[in-house]
Structures are given as structure tokens and as C-alpha cells.
Amino acid sequence: MRHFIRSAAVAIAIAAASTFTISPVLAADISGAGATFPYPIYAKWADAYKKETGIGLNYQSIGSGGGIKQIKAKTVTFGASDAPLEGEELESTGLAQFPMVMGGIVPVVNLEGIEPGELVLDGATLADIFLGKITNWNDEAIKKLNPEAKLPDQAIAVVHRSDGSGTTFNFTYYLGDVSASWKDEVGVAKAVQWPVGIGAKGNEGVANNVAQTGGSIGYVEYAYAKENGLIYADMINKDGKTVEPTAESFSAAAANADWSSQPGYGVILANQPGAESWPMTAATWILVYKQPEDTQATADALKFFAWSYAKGDEMAGELDYVPMPDNVVKSVEEMWAKDILGSDGKAIYTE
């Protein structure tokens, strides 16, 4: 039986996150808003970066939809989204997009007597739970996947995101890929019409709601499961193998990704093949203007992202995020130098 251990590294990230969005914005601070999926690692990087440089990062963890709205309104220097914008939208808005880090989305449950990783689910069963077709924890479909588990005769309480969310986009993308019923009845989007359940805002809200509700199930980025001591389920992947959510299984899913195949590196990593691949792996992206009104603010933001690429890998690993491959980082930084320009037409990013 595997027992959950809360690491000191995660505790540090929680401490950093607790003051991350409420500190006053200083003139030199970098402003951003959006995805809650990468919030723990952005908080950890921001804390280390401020200690090294004195420059702070004010990041509003409001969900991908909110981040896209704020960057389009030009109220922040960068937006963050777990659902990539398509090439046509990038072109029409004048935005550049690049991936920052990868991680995994996990089903989390509140079931007495079940330890992290003891419960196993597959995509079809997970889809039927969120469709409201499986309503009790001792349903035959769940029992078949978990013959040794002590599943209670208890109603399932579904918890989902209430806000526009890239985590929801990637979660529903996966469900749509494994379930024709989900694809036809609900679809794939940052916000959907949920057939059942109660909504909560952000990964934080879903994590807190699941923690407080017996018999519940939700979906969060893995760092939130770790931070909150939530029980997570293992998954049966596309190759029919049972896998745990780990940095290694997230890396396996991303191993064959062709990042240059989509505008703005917009590659979806859900349901990738491979015996060791976690089926709900996802990247998260940053959005900045190619011709920003405040070139200094954007240059400062790119310096922070370059620092995070160069020095943030170990911190990312401590929270079970997966750093971007070196060749992708090189390509992104070349894109910065080529496409992100000041009013004089000169690149604002130099190494």
C-alpha cells in the first residue's frame, strides 16, 4: 500500500503561493494573469527570482479564460493559458505564444479507506462518471477495475471547474478522445455545460471542494493533489497499462511531441501512446504581444521566463512538473529574438 508523503519542497511552494498574488505591485514587478494549472511552479520560480534579482512577479491565478481576456485587454504584460490559441487567433491579435512547462491532470477523490494510487480508473469509466451515467462508487464498472478495493455504497459527488479553464480544456479533450458519448453530448472547450456536479473556481477551488466533500471526485493539476494531500487515482492509458501520475509518466507522454507542428507550439498531449504515458498530460503556454506597448515590461517578463527555463528545472521537478526540452527552449528563445519587437523594430530580447 502506497502512502502519501508531503514533501518539504511542496510546503515551500505553498508558503510562496500564499503571498504570491496579494503583494503590492511595484514599478519593477512583472504582471501576469491566467492559468491555475502552473500556479505552484510560477509561485516557486517567482520567489527564487525575486531573491536573486529583486524583481517581483504579480501573477493572478484566475483561470486560462481570464488570462486570455486580460492580455487581450492589455491590463497585464503576459497572459497564461493551458489551452493554446490557434494560429488564426494568434495572427489576428498580434500575440506570440510559447510553452513554459508541462504537467499532469489527475482524478482526485475523497473516499474513506482508499489510499493515493489504490483506485484505478480508465477513460471510459471516468467519462461516464462525469456524464452522470455512473452514480455510485460500488458500480460494477468501477468494481471491475478495482476487485480488491473496499468501495463504499456511496453516491458520487462530481466536482468540476466553474470558470473558463485550460485544465478543463485538456480534461474534456481527453474524455472526448476516449468516449464518443462525451464528444457528442458535452464536447471539448475551456467551459462546457456539465451534465452533473457542482462547480468550483480554479484548481484551488476544486481541490478544496473535494477535500471537504465525502464521496467526491474532481480533476486538478497534480501539484494541487500533492499540496492538499488528496487521494488520486491511477489510470489505464492508451496502451492498456496502469500508470501512476509522476514526472516520468508525464515525460513519457510528451516524448514524441512535435512542437513545431502547430502554430505557437500548440501541441495537445492528452491520450498519447506509450506503455508509460500518463493519459492526461498537458502543457501550459504564455501569451505576450509581438509589438508590446510597454517594451521594457515585456523585456523584463522574457528575462524571467529565460531565467526559469535556465534555472527552474530542478524546482519544477520537485513539484512533479516536466521542464520543456532543450530544443524547444532554444526554438522559443530564437522566436523571441525574431518576432517580439520594440517600436523601433528591433528585438527586445537578447541573451
Residues 141 and 41 in one domain: no
Structure pTM? 0.85
Instruction: From first to last of the 351 residues of the chain, give the pLDDT tens digit.
Output: 333 333 333 333 333 333 344 344 444 699 999 999 999 999 999 999 999 999 999 999 999 999 999 999 999 999 999 999 999 999 999 999 999 999 999 999 999 989 888 999 999 999 999 999 999 999 999 999 999 999 999 999 999 999 989 999 999 999 999 999 999 999 999 999 999 999 999 999 999 999 999 999 999 999 899 888 999 999 999 999 999 999 999 999 998 888 999 999 999 999 999 999 999 999 999 999 999 999 999 999 999 999 999 999 999 999 989 999 999 999 999 999 999 999 888 999 887
C-alpha cell belonging to residue 302: 522574457
Contact (Cβ atoms closer than 8 angstroms) between residue 301 and residue 100:
no
The pLDDT of residue 25? 44
Total domain count, the chain:
2
Beta strands in the chain (DSSP E): 30-34, 57-61, 78-81, 95-109, 120-121, 157-161, 198-200, 216-221, 231-232, 234-236, 242-243, 281-289, 322-323
The pLDDT of residue 116? 86
Residue at 265 is within a domain: no
Residue at 127 is within a domain: yes
Residue at 19 is within a domain: yes
Contact (Cβ atoms closer than 8 angstroms) between residue 269 and residue 282:
yes
The pLDDT of residue 19? 38
Residues 122 and 31 in one domain: no
Closest to 324 measured CA to CA, from 282, 278, 295:
282
Residues 315 and 285 in one domain: yes
Amino acid identity of residue 79, one-letter, is G
Among 256, 289, 309, give the residue marking a domain's end. 256
Beta bridge partners of 289: 95
| Distance, CA of 56 to CA of 52 (rounded, Å) | 10
Q: Give exposure, 181-204, as e/b (b: 16+ Cβ within 10 Å).
A: ebbeebebbbbbebeebeebbbbb
Residues 210 and 310 in one domain: no
Residue at 264 is within a domain: no
C-alpha cell belonging to residue 163: 470558470
| Distance, CA of 39 to CA of 252 (rounded, Å) | 23
| CATH code of the domain containing 298 | 3.40.190.10
Which domain covers residue 301, as residue numbers?
8-103+280-339
Contact (Cβ atoms closer than 8 angstroms) between residue 57 and residue 35:
no
Residue at 295 is within a domain: yes
Residues in the chain: 351
Residues 157 and 76 in one domain: no
Residues 180 and 51 in one domain: no
Q: Taking the C-alpha atoms of 173, 174, 175 and 180 in order, what is their torsion angle to the nearest 10 degrees?
A: 80
Contact (Cβ atoms closer than 8 angstroms) between residue 108 and residue 87:
no
The pLDDT of residue 9? 38
Residues 332 and 284 in one domain: yes
Among 256, 291, 308, give the residue marking a domain's end. 256
Residue at 351 is within a domain: no
The pLDDT of residue 12? 32
Beta strands in 27-163 (DSSP E): 30-34, 57-61, 78-81, 95-109, 120-121, 157-161
Residue at 347 is within a domain: no
Residues 70 and 175 in one domain: no
Residues 90 and 114 in one domain: no
Q: Who contacts 274 (Cβ-Cβ below 8 Å, separation ≥6)? A: 237, 238, 239, 252, 253, 255, 256
The pLDDT of residue 8? 34
Residues 242 and 311 in one domain: no
Among 220, 240, 256, give the residue marking a domain's end. 256
Residues 112 and 230 in one domain: yes
| Distance, CA of 227 to CA of 115 (rounded, Å) | 16
Residues 178 and 189 in one domain: yes
Contact (Cβ atoms closer than 8 angstroms) between residue 105 and residue 167:
yes
Residue at 92 is within a domain: yes
